[in-house]
């Protein structure tokens, strides 16, 4: 690990000042906020990230709370851990899919330390990206080695020129629930729908996965209490049953009318694209129909229609279809 300066922030404003105070020409050397450290420290040990300064956010009071306003909207502090999320009674009752997504992450030890904002900002798990000596496209190199190399775990949607998949289990579910982020930076505060947070390799800076500017930090995640919220689920397929990242995952949320027809639907795929991948045509196909096997199968076919698999990952197409069907079937009862 490269030597770095350690600072402990006393407030959000202090954290932003500490992050903004150190200039770095190389983006991999920019100061970084540290939450649970589960991902940042690994990338530092592997020299993928070499920040000149690390700013500990865990010393900021008040960012570790889950709160609900009288209308039932949730406000989740950036430092809330995945374990807090999965075990909070009101989250489990009002946003069951979110509790399931949190519970699907790794092990209890990792969920005890890993935070919500850190989970959204974690770096990709592509083998080539994680290998210290491989300078792939995302690390400023000229080639995505996964495109023609080992690509079993890589993208079937939204790939090119890089084929990473986004590793977060919370991201697809939070997107399905219509979450918004509160962000603070040197230019003040901003609110950003999660839908606008993640960037595809083609649509943004290739070396990043989101639109956070230098010295900006996420302070809170808000989730509206919509009619979709309590009929939500998260299904994840992983290669190892113990702990693993998603080979494919589905976040689904629906609102049913009194006649049981679908009034609203949100379907977001995980583990298949560089960003959580919403499938609006499949959502639209569900509207107005009863949530039966036929509707679920039709939505699954539509959702995967545009997939462009690489040499080793076409299995993700039938796998993801099966997850969509299973998730929708679960939500009808």
Ligand X SMILES: Cc1cc2nc3c(=O)[nH]c(=O)nc-3n(C[C@H](O)[C@H](O)[C@H](O)COP(=O)(O)OP(=O)(O)OC[C@H]3O[C@@H](n4cnc5c(N)ncnc54)[C@H](O)[C@@H]3O)c2cc1C
Instruction: Check residue 194 for interaction with ligand X (CB under 6 A).
Output: no
What the block records as the tokens of 244 is: 């693993």
Beta strands in the chain (DSSP E): 5-8, 32-34, 53-56, 66-68, 74-77, 180-185, 188-193, 217-223, 232-237, 248-256, 262-270, 277-278
Are 207 and 161 in contact, with CB atoms under 8 Å apart?
Answer: no
Q: Which is nearer to ligand X, 132 or 292 (CB)?
A: 132
Q: State in angstroms the smallest separation of the CB of 118 from ligand X.
A: 2
Between 212 and 267, CB nearer to ligand X: 212
Is 86 a binding residue for ligand X by CB under 6 A? The answer is no
How many beta carbons lie within 10 A of that of residue 312, not counting itself?
14
Q: Coil, strand or helix: which one is 65? A: coil
For residue 48, what are its two tokens? Answer: 């993928």
| Residue nearest ligand X (C-beta atom) | 118
Cβ pair 77, 220 in contact under 8 A? yes
Q: Is 105 in the site for ligand X (CB under 6 A)?
A: yes
Binding mask 13-32 for ligand X (x = CB under 6 A): -------------------x
Among 78, 235, 296, 299, binds ligand X (CB under 6 A): 78
Q: Which of 145, 153, 197, 245 binds ligand X (CB under 6 A)?
A: 245
317 binds ligand X (CB under 6 A): no
Give the count of residues interacting with ligand X (CB under 6 A): 31
- Residue 7 engages ligand X in binding (rule: CB under 6 A): no
Which one of 113, 134, 256, 298 is in contact with ligand X (CB under 6 A)? 113
What secondary structure letter does DSSP report for 277?
Answer: E
Binding mask 198-237 for ligand X (x = CB under 6 A): --------------x----xx-------------------
Among 8, 110, 131, 256, binds ligand X (CB under 6 A): 110
Q: Find, among 50, 45, 46, 47, the residue nearest to 32 by Cα.
A: 50
Query: CA torsion sign, 66 to 69 to 75 to 77?
Result: negative
Other beta carbons within 10 angstroms of residue 330's beta carbon come to 14
The answer to the question of residue 117 lying near ligand X (CB under 6 A) is yes
Toward ligand X, which CB reaches closer, 114 or 201? 114
User: Is 115 one of the binding residues for ligand X (CB under 6 A)?
Assistant: yes
Q: Could you count the other beta carbons within 10 Å of the beta carbon of residue 172?
A: 31
Site string for ligand X, 32-51 (x = CB under 6 A): xxxxxxxxx-----------
Cβ contact 113:38 at 8 Å: yes
Residues 126 and 95: their CA atoms lie apart, in Å, by 30
Of 118, 159, 276, 309, the residue at the interface with ligand X (CB under 6 A) is 118
Q: How far is CA 197 from CA 38, 171, 297, in A?
A: 21, 10, 30
Binding site for ligand X (CB under 6 A): 32-40, 57, 78, 105-106, 110, 113-115, 117-119, 121-122, 167-169, 212, 217-218, 243-245
């Amino acid at each position: 690990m490269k030597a770095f300066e350690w600072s402990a922030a006393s407030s959000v404003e202090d954290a932003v000042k500490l992050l903004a105070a150190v200039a770095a020409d190389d983006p991999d050397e920019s100061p970084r906020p540290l939450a649970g450290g589960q991902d940042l420290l690994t990338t530092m040990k592997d020299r993928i990230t070499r920040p000149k300064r690390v700013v500990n956010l865990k010393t900021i009071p008040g960012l570790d709370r889950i709160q609900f306003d009288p209308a039932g909207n949730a406000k989740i502090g950036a430092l809330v851990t995945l374990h807090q999320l999965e075990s909070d009674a009101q989250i489990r009752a009002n946003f069951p899919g979110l509790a399931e997504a949190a519970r699907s992450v790794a092990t209890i030890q990792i969920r005890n330390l890993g935070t919500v904002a850190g989970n959204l900002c974690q770096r990709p798990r592509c083998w080539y990206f994680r290998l210290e000596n491989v300078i792939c496209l995302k690390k400023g190199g000229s080639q995505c080695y996964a495109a023609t190399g080992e690509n079993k775990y890589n993208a079937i949607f939204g790939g090119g020129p890089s084929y990473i998949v986004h590793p977060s289990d919370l991201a697809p579910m939070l997107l399905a629930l219509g979450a918004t982020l509160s962000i603070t930076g040197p230019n003040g505060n901003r609110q950003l729908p999660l839908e606008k947070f993640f960037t595809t390799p083609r649509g943004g800076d290739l070396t990043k996965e989101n639109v956070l500017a230098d010295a900006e930090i996420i302070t809170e995640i808000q989730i509206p209490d919509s009619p979709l919220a309590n009929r939500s689920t998260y299904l994840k397929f992983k290669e190892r049953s113990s702990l693993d990242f998603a080979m494919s995952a589905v976040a689904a949320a629906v609102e049913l009318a009194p006649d049981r027809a679908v009034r609203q639907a949100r379907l977001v795929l995980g583990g298949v694209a560089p960003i959580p991948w919403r499938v609006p045509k499949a959502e639209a196909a569900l509207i107005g129909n009863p949530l039966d096997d036929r509707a679920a199968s039709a939505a699954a076919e539509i959702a995967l229609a545009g997939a462009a698999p690489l040499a080793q990952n076409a299995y993700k197409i039938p796998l993801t279809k099966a997850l969509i069907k299973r998730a929708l079937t679960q939500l009808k009862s």
